[in-house]
Amino acid sequence: MDSPNSFTFKPFLHQYIFVFIIIFFTLAHQTVSDYSEFEACEPKTCGSNLTIRFPFWISGEQESYCGSPNFGITCNDQKPVLNISYEDYIIKDIFYENSSLRLANFAAYENSSPTPFYNLTLTRTPFNFVPSDTDLFFWYNCSDKPPEDGTYSISCGNEYSHYYSFAAFQKEMLVNYSLESCQSSVYAPLNVETGANLWQMNYTEILKIGFVLNWTALSCSNCEASGGRCGFDNSEFVCFCKDKTYQKTCDYGSTLNLGRKLAIGNTDLSIVLLLQ
Ligand SMILES: *[C@@H]1O[C@H](CO)[C@@H](O)[C@H](O)[C@H]1NC(C)=O
Ligand SMILES: *[C@@H]1O[C@H](CO)[C@@H](O)[C@H](O)[C@H]1NC(C)=O
Ligand SMILES: *[C@@H]1O[C@H](CO)[C@@H](O)[C@H](O)[C@H]1NC(C)=O
Ligand SMILES: *[C@@H]1O[C@H](CO)[C@@H](O)[C@H](O)[C@H]1NC(C)=O
Ligand SMILES: *[C@@H]1O[C@H](CO)[C@@H](O)[C@H](O)[C@H]1NC(C)=O
Ligand SMILES: *[C@@H]1O[C@H](CO)[C@@H](O)[C@H](O)[C@H]1NC(C)=O
Ligand SMILES: *[C@@H]1O[C@H](CO)[C@@H](O)[C@H](O)[C@H]1NC(C)=O
Ligand SMILES: *[C@@H]1O[C@H](CO)[C@@H](O)[C@H](O)[C@H]1NC(C)=O
């Protein structure tokens, strides 16, 4: 500060004061206005009830950095839809408190005969079946007639076919039946809520009950508890807060010198310090 420059600037002190006033109002404005990533990652609803927040994000309505890559959902005619291994599932409920969600096959809502033709595979997804999930088995194109008891018959649209297709809960019901007479089979996951009377339902209604998956993702609870919203910055997990971006929570932890806005903020701060 003893350089000749600081001496030559002294006559222009009033200019510094002017600059200081501008900086003061810029900083004051920044603290009042909401940080743009915080705004962008505001939780949204899809349909009347379901709140979509981290790790989920609505593709086309929210920035992808507001959630984790595999958790993008589409809000399709007010129905939240998750696409897992090339199949669409309706999200019936999300339980953020225990990181799980209830899904149902989208076809059960669109189609009067929603027979699944593929097994749901969860490899390379962040989702997992939970222990209370069971299966509804589907067998297609069987040459032997299935027993009436304990099975749901499926009409595949071809009434004149001499093949049978059906669904059943337990293979034990079919001890005397030759499953080898069927051309293909599919296991549809199901998580029956207590009180459901399955025998009074047809398989479309049963598929609408859906199943539960849990998920593995970085926890947002500490960031949310501090008033923040989670997201990613250059693939790094961060906590967006009203003022700026933090590493973990809005209360503590180093702020990240990430955004351009923040870099300008630091420059302003150093000028203010220089003036004091
Ligand atoms: C909203 O929640 C209520 C009560 O939890 C439920 O009865 C209703 O079916 C839900 N509506 C939708 C569209 O999911
Ligand atoms: C699911 O997503 C894949 C690509 O990510 C797409 O090809 C497929 O059509 C989607 N499935 C449905 C039923 O929309
Ligand atoms: C999470 O909680 C909900 C509501 O209490 C429950 O229906 C669901 O089965 C739970 N998920 C797991 C994985 O236990
Ligand atoms: C059942 O057989 C019909 C005609 O033989 C065929 O078109 C259909 O794909 C088969 N379905 C399954 C699920 O194997
Ligand atoms: C299977 O066949 C055996 C012998 O005919 C019979 O005793 C048994 O009750 C049958 N089981 C079922 C589930 O129909
Ligand atoms: C579904 O999984 C079962 C059991 O692993 C298997 O026998 C069946 O062939 C699979 N179905 C299809 C359509 O891949
Ligand atoms: C299942 O039951 C519902 C309601 O009773 C009915 O609208 C639907 O057509 C039935 N579906 C099949 C495949 O029987
Ligand atoms: C999901 O459920 C499976 C089966 O119970 C369990 O092994 C796994 O730890 C759970 N994952 C999470 C993130 O809760």
Q: What is the pLDDT of residues 89-101, one digit of tens each?
A: 999 999 999 999 9
Determine contact, residues 248/219, Cβ cutoff 8 Å: no
Percent of the chain with pLDDT over 90: 59
Q: Which residue range forms the structural domain that includes residue 183?
A: 72-215
Atom of ligand 2 nearest to the CA of 106: 13
Q: Please give the order of strands across the beta sheet that includes 79-84.
A: 57-58, 72-76, 79-84, 87-95, 100-105, 211-215, 127-129
Cα separation values, 126 from 17, 133, 257, Å: 56, 17, 30
Note whether 145 and 210 are same-domain residues. yes
Choice among 15-19, 20-24, 41-45, 208-212 with the minimum mean pLDDT? 20-24
Looking at the structure, do residues 164 and 106 belong to the same domain, yes or no? yes
- On whether both 151 and 260 belong to a single domain, the answer is no
pLDDT value for 259: 43
Comparison of pLDDT for 260 and 146, the residue scoring more: 146
Task: Tell whether 24 and 127 lie within a shared domain.
Answer: no
pLDDT on residue 19? 52
Amino acid, single-letter form, for residue 200? Q
Strand order in the sheet with 236-240: 229-233, 236-240, 245-246
On whether both 178 and 94 belong to a single domain, the answer is yes
Q: Is the CB of 254 under 6 A from ligand 5?
A: no
Q: How many domains in the chain?
A: 2
pLDDT at 31 (0 to 100):
46
Check if the beta carbon of residue 80 is closer than 8 Å to that of residue 171: no
Residue of 144, 151, 176, 179 to test ligand 5 pocket, by largest number of atoms within 8 Å of CB: 176
Which of 115, 109, 112 has the alpha carbon at shortest distance from 140? Answer: 115
Residue 129 Cα to ligand 8 midpoint, Å, equals 8
84 lines ligand 2 (CB under 6 A): no
* Domain identity same for 170 and 189: yes
CA of 116 to the centre of ligand 6 (A): 11
Do 153 and 100 belong to one domain? yes
Angstrom distance (rounded) from CA 28 to CA 88:
47
Structure confidence by residue, pLDDT tens digits, 225-273: 999 999 999 999 999 999 999 999 998 655 554 443 443 444 444 333 3
In a domain, 64, yes or no: no
pLDDT(128) > 90: yes
Indicate the SS3 state at residue 33: coil
**Candidate of 46, 49, 94 to mutate for ligand 1, largest count of ligand atoms within 8 Å of Cβ:** 49
Segment 181-201 mean pLDDT: 90
Contact 165, 153 (CB under 8 A): yes
Average pLDDT along the chain: 82
